[in-house]
A and B are shown apart, each in its own frame.
Chain A
């Protein structure tokens, strides 16, 4: 594969990375060796293809790098895309990997003791204040969000709030912390995302690349 325009692909650290690398490999993109060296402090890596570089950033920063054009293409969770809902980002493909769901969870007695019809205000600990607010606003409830960056499951037992909104894969973390799922907000999976200006100004570069990824995921399914 050759590319006539330079392209930075943003990949999130952690969970998603392992499911995305095989897809990249199948479309013929292999990161340089140092990418796999956990001691290497580099954040930008070359690939086997001349014009394609990879940047590795925190999952919550992927959309920001993408929207501002620092990366032109990214693999990112639909949770992050929905949270930022950025007008400068297109996300044409669901890769059907990295699947989990976003839920509201609470301690068990919250469900038994409270009547949700009477709520006007709830306090929620979450990494996703925008999604949370929107979810509760739809039923006329104002959600006051406590923005945490991790260890969400601690919040209810420590008295920060009664509810959390977070991602759940198996439910074991919830269970270990005495929480139960109250409702599902949405399913989450990894998506391919593209910067809008780049898409519009480089149609002949971007479309073939998207088509290749689509072929790979169609075969997989």
Chain B
């Protein structure tokens, strides 16, 4: 069978060539985000693309990534290797091994490409770029709030507007449902997922009333905080509620430009999270744009992190206006330097082509280098 020229360009499902100007915009976006993390004292690390399967997937956050991870065989060690499908698992490993001697809290940031077996509900992309920050070793309301606030700062630095943050306690479901039968658990989980209170009202189990109250509490900031404050809770649940409210309060006091949505029982997309978690939306963008939450690292330390989904953000209007392009007819680095130092970009002409102006227009230049000066091109 012969392969046609067109088919040679075919890529596997969920993989694509990112071209100009998206590739440049993506790189700039990532750098902007990482600069914000760096401003708040997060040290950048860069784990490898591939690891031994048993290291990456056996403990900590890695355990839930098994189904979404590609495997390849390492011909050198004859061991199975896994292509990372999430960077947080690797940060957890770094914090628990090579950086375990550093003082806590440890602040790390990263950016990297991941590969997933399947795309998610909106994006069929299987290769994605994650940018994130992790705060490892201490669990309190200030650490949780810090990650949220720094993540919001990062999103604002790339002009994301109309932000809503949904703050959740996904682990509560396990707490309420742990002693129930599988079928009842399934029924309750489904009702919570649908947000259908009537189904819960019909079912009888130990925590049904509290569960209903928590479903009722979900909503926008002022309604939900008031509802939660007045809710009668005891022991563990009382502590959790107070902690939750403290974080929400700190976030609200520090940044009143964002909308806060409160939904304690939401657990969509949280896999390895063991504590307070959050999802960030923007009215102008589809679906989740960032997500984060508390989890346990490889050696059991408590950590909280956030991940920003670059592929959701890249389609927003231009982040950086591009410098104008100047046509320099002949290769001359010294001339080019003069132009660049004046705040332009340059492109060299083709020496075989003598119609410089036409060549310049073909190369999408707005200016031309003539007689030692930058001249605007007539279009």
**Residues of chain A having any CB pair with chain B under 8 Å:** 67-69, 86-88, 90-94, 191, 196-197, 200-204, 207
Give the most central of A67, A69, A87, A93: most B CB within 10 Å. A87
Given A93-B196, A201-B283; 12 other pairs, CB 8 A cutoff = A69-B286, A91-B194, A91-B195, A92-B194, A94-B198, A196-B268, A197-B287, A200-B281, A201-B261, A201-B281, A201-B282, A203-B259
Interface residues of B in 47-101 (CB under 8 A from A): none
* A92-B288 Cα distance, complex, nearest whole Å: 20
Does B220 belong to the interface (CB within 8 Å)? Answer: yes
Chain B binding surface SS class: mixed
- Least CB distance from B168 to A in Å reads 11
- Least CB distance from B295 to A in Å reads 20
* A88-B281 Cα distance, complex, nearest whole Å: 12
Contact of A87 with B162 at beta-carbon distance under 8 Å, contacts A94-B198, A197-B281 already known: no
* A37-B287 Cα distance, complex, nearest whole Å: 35
Cβ of B259: which chain A residues have Cβ within 8 Å of it? 201, 203
- Least CB distance from B123 to A in Å reads 11
Contact of A200 with B195 at beta-carbon distance under 8 Å, contacts A88-B121, A88-B287 already known: no
Q: Which residue of B lies closest to A203 (CB)?
A: B220
Chain A binding surface SS class: mixed
Cβ of A191: which chain B residues have Cβ within 8 Å of it? 194
> Is B196 touching A204 in the complex (CB atoms < 8 A)?
no
Q: How large is the interface on B (under 10, 10 to 19, 20 to 34, 35 or more residues)?
A: 20 to 34
> Is B194 touching A203 in the complex (CB atoms < 8 A)?
no
> Is B220 touching A91 in the complex (CB atoms < 8 A)?
no
Give the most central of A69, A94, A201: most B CB within 10 Å. A201
Does B166 belong to the interface (CB within 8 Å)? Answer: yes
Cβ of B198: which chain A residues have Cβ within 8 Å of it? 93-94
Cβ of A207: which chain B residues have Cβ within 8 Å of it? 219
Does B269 belong to the interface (CB within 8 Å)? Answer: yes
Does B164 belong to the interface (CB within 8 Å)? Answer: yes
> Is B196 touching A91 in the complex (CB atoms < 8 A)?
yes
